[in-house]
Amino acid sequence: MSFPENRPRRLRRTEALRRMVRETTLSVDNLILPLFVCSGKGVRREIGSLPGQFYFSVDQLSREAEVVANLGIPAVMLFGLPERKDAVGSEAWHPEGIVQRAIRAIKKTVPDLVVAADCCFCEYTAHGHCGVILEKKGNQSVVDNDATLENLGRAALAQAQAGADIVAPSGMMDGMIGFLRETLDEAEQQDVILLSYAAKYASAFYGPFREAAASVPSFGDRNGYQMDVANIREAIREVALDVEEGADIVMVKPALPCLDVIGEVRREFDVPIAAFNVSGEYAMLKLAGQKGLLDYDRAMVETLTSVRRAGADLVVTYHAKEAAQLLTGKR
């Protein structure tokens, strides 16, 4: 029996050989860890919908930032739980808002850690939507795009002035990147990076986050401003608009159901691409691992590698600390 002269399996024979020809690598440098910050003191409370993740008060968040930095993770992304909510989410731009205080605390403790701030209003509004509600039609809502942009500008500026390295608008408002770039530049915050949630789908995989952030809409849904999960050409148009308006990094969210979208964005655009490995994706692996249905560590690394293989340079993931420990051997 004859065999092909070129046998691909020769290159798979040992771990050293596999490493030598590995096409896609996963590094701690690719990871961004989401963190939840809340009011109070001495708070480090596990989040029920996200096993292994915690609510941190500002003082405890500073300690967590040190742990993150020591693991080599280069960046965190902050989500705030305010004490007070209102119709427009005004706590998002208050100088002493929860995220602004958290940014200052982290920068004081770990100056070199890159701090990204999610810039949206769903955690801050009494109704749970991502902007100013123009009108309510039955069980549906219409968001006032332009009024929301004005508030996004206020929130982005507050985050930048607090010391955020990256402002990450996630509400999928039309024109948000151009408006925020102009707002930040006029305030002499030209060095602040804009990471746009450029292709953010109206996904079922956000459920654990919405429970954790108390941001479930009190009426209607977000289908009117987040993307239809069936569309990919629309995603390319959205990314193109944000790149043209000045986005430094573009993000696809969620990650695993959108590997094809990440790949298409990679082929079309020569900018850094992030992908958000969202709460539902994380919770599925966690729960399956806890029940012994799969090898959690292997499945986690495989998942994050697949997102990198699709074309993402950066992965925002709740797995970041555990992945860093596996990749670096640090504990």
Answer for the pair 313, 272: CB distance below 8 angstroms, yes or no.
Answer: yes
Q: What is the largest CA-CA distance in the chain?
A: 76
* Residue in the structure block whose two tokens are 């509400």: 171
User: What residues act catalytically?
Assistant: 200, 253
Instruction: Taking each helix axis as running N to C, give the angle between helix 320-328 and helix 296-310, from 0 to 180 degrees, rounded to the nearest 10.
Output: 100
Contacts for 232 with CB less than 8 Å, ≥ 6 apart:
260, 261, 264
The whole-angstrom separation of Cα 246 and Cα 177 is 6
Give Cα 166 distance to the centre of its chain.
11
Alpha-carbon distance of 41 to 59, in angstroms, equals: 7
Name 9's bridge partners: none
Question: Phi first, then psi: what are they for 77, rounded to 5°?
Answer: -125, 125
Q: What is the DSSP letter of 92?
A: G
Residue 230 DSSP class: T
Q: How many residues does the chain have?
A: 331
Tokens read off for 174:
């039309």
Query: How far is 125 from 131, CA to CA, in rounded Å?
Result: 8
Candidates 78, 70, 249; CA nearest to 158 is 78
